[in-house]
Amino acid sequence: MVGVGTQMIDLAPGPLKDWAVKNLGTADKPILVGGVLVAVAVFAMAAGVIGLKRPRVALGMTVLLGLLAILAAATGRSLATNGVVRVLPGVITLLVATAGMYLVLRSRGYSLRGSRKQPPEADATATSSLTTTGSPTSGASATAGQAAGAEIAGTEAGTETAGAHAAIPEAEAPSGFDRRKFLVTTFALGAVGAGGAVVSRVLPGGVDEATRRAIRIPAAASRAKVLPAGVAANVAGVSPFVTPNKSFYRVDTLLTVPKVDPRNWELRVHGMVDRELRLNFADLLNRRLVERDITLTCVSNEVGGPYVGNARWIGVPIAEILREAGVQAGADAVKSTSVDGLTIGTPLQALTDGRDALFALGMNGEPLPFDHGFPVRMVVPGLYGYVSATKWIVDFEVTRFDDFSAYWTDRGWAVEAPIKTASRIDVPKGFARVKPGPAVAAGVAWAQHRGIAKVEVQVDDGPWQEAQLADEAGIDIWRQWTFRWNATSGNHTLTVRATDKTGQVQTADRAAPRPNGSSGLHNTVVMVE
Ligand SMILES: Nc1nc2c(c(=O)[nH]1)N[C@H]1C(S)=C(S)[C@@H](COP(=O)(O)O)O[C@H]1N2
Ligand SMILES: [Mo]
């Protein structure tokens, strides 16, 4: 089922996917999973109903569904496990479910060779059992539950119909319908489905949370700069300066997060290099580690949106690895690939020009969370995540932009995408009620690797007024701001804009996130009364 879902993500038209990211946010995946579950359940029930009259058609639909699921698992982009291992749970579940169905039928006195006179219940059972076949992963317990529901519904319908078709010849009629036995079998099949799911989770050699937590990352040889005392605006409601891992935004294409075993992990550095390197997790832990605060931003972030976060990363400088490998003349890009096969293209220059581009191993004092790329991901200051921040990275190929295209650029996003200068009002929230008199607004601004020089706020159509900037922690890090104003009765619109340290003023021209990031000014309406 997750295989089907992932394929849907890859095949989904760009606009639909953008819509999902924008409107469903991190909930887009549960909704997709739910959608696939419902579709499968409806399909199963349809097969069950058809099966009342035409068992073979229902059986055909069932097998088709099972094969579709296996196909999805087989063709899905995954380097985590080879094809055979990936489809194994699906195949096993399909076989067991079919055998189970056969047993159910036999226990009820039917021969599978019997044609249209089979009892309709048989087909409901078959269909629903196979429903679990298509769900060899996390959603499967839910699938199993739904399938069981569908089976029970099918049984009821079937029982009625069996009564209505009393004309079935004695010899071929059910030898008595044992409801209890049927339910037990049904739930046993559900359990098999769930078992298949568990097997599929365990097979790729994934690790658990305890193993992740047990990893000790040595202290960095180069620590993060000590934060100035005043990096926070200290206004209730402003985003915390360091975004906790739990609330850090997450954007990727996956329904199930890879749980790569660091003991088996390896990064291959190759392509236009003098020496190919193969680095394992221990190799990276033993290298010179660097700790940096870096603010990440997603290109899909709308003006005023939530897809930006700041964390303290620890890892190995990518430039040092590249120096060791020896970059050859003519190369201008790196194509990195994650364990699930997703590709990202990054300008070589951003990895070698002295900025803190890292193979990150840790985030905010712990090993990378699974959601954020465990065991190793890229972090490159100044570039949107889709061109720089490869999570679960396994392959790093020095190459030329002319020689490849990456996952998102194949879907209409720009090849090069530096983060645009941006600012956001965190407080007051839109349509907040504010008391007349002295009031405060506050928020964050970012222009990674250029730095924020100024933030201004405009009340209605008034003049731009300078906000007070919190201390700067570094040019790769967002900066908080506070604006004090005198609120008068009525509705007012506050608009914010930032100026980066190159002197560029944030543009008021509105642009959608695609192809290279949104632009425009964030504003918020407050009601003063
Ligand atoms: N393997 C992989 N890495 C990925 C992505 C992805 O879909 N798959 N998404 C990228 C995008 S679009 C962004 S904005 C960042 C988000 O990182 P986060 O989820 O840790 O916040 O990861 C990047 N790295
Ligand atoms: Mo992104």
**Mutation test residue for ligand 1: of 340, 391, 396, the one with most atoms within 8 Å of CB:** 391
Domain locations along the chain: 2-114+177-202, 120-172, 214-411, 422-528
Which residue's C-alpha comes closest to atom 9 of ligand 1?
252
**332-391 pLDDT tens trace:** 999 999 999 999 999 999 999 999 999 999 999 999 999 999 999 999 999 999 999 999
| Per-residue confidence (pLDDT) for residue 509, from 0 to 100 | 98
Check: CB of residue 281 under 8 Å from CB of residue 265.
yes
- The pLDDT of residue 223 is 98
DSSP string, 411-456: GT--S--BPPPEEEEEESPTTEEE-SEEEEEEEEEE-TTT-EEEEE
Summarize pLDDT for 52-92 with one digit per residue, the tens: 667 677 666 666 776 666 665 555 443 333 344 556 656 66
- % of the chain exceeding 70 in pLDDT: 62
Nearest atom in ligand 1 to the alpha carbon of residue 391 is 3
Q: What is the dihedral angle through the alpha carbons of 47, 52, 54, 56, rounded to the nearest 10 degrees?
A: 60
Per the prediction, the chain carries an average pLDDT of 80
How many Å lie between the centroid of ligand 1 and the Cα of residue 29? 14
pLDDT at 48: 58
Rounded Cα gap, residues 305 and 303, in angstroms: 5
Give the pLDDT of residue 246.
Answer: 98
Ligand 2 midpoint to CA 113 (Å): 54
Confidence check: pLDDT of 428 > 90: yes
Nearest-CA residue for atom 15 of ligand 1: 385
The CATH number assigned to the domain with range 422-528 reads 2.60.40.650
- pLDDT computed for residue 372 by the predictor: 98
Mean pLDDT calculated for residue range 240-248: 98
If phi over 0 gives left and psi between -120 and 50 gives alpha, with beta otherwise, what is residue 234?
left
Is CATH 3.90.420.10 the classification given to domain 214-411? yes
Residues in the ligand 1 pocket, defined by CB under 6 Å: 248-253, 296, 298, 338, 342, 372, 385-386, 389-392
Helix (H, G, I), strand (E, B) or coil at 337: strand
For residue 64, the model assigns a pLDDT of 73
Q: Separation of 243 CA from ligand 1 center, angstroms?
A: 16
pLDDT in tens, 111-150: 545 443 333 333 332 323 222 222 222 222 322 223 322 2
pLDDT band at 263 (very low <50, low <70, confident <90, very high): very high
Give the pLDDT confidence of 9-36 residue by residue, as tens digits. 666 666 566 666 655 555 666 666 666 6
pLDDT tier for residue 174 given thresholds of 50, 70 and 90? very low
Neighbours of ion ligand 2 (CB under 5 A): 251, 298-299, 385-386
What would the two tokens of residue 34 be?
């739910």
pLDDT at 278 over 60: yes
Taking the centre of ligand 2 as the mean of its atom positions, its distance from the CA of residue 384, in whole angstroms, is 6
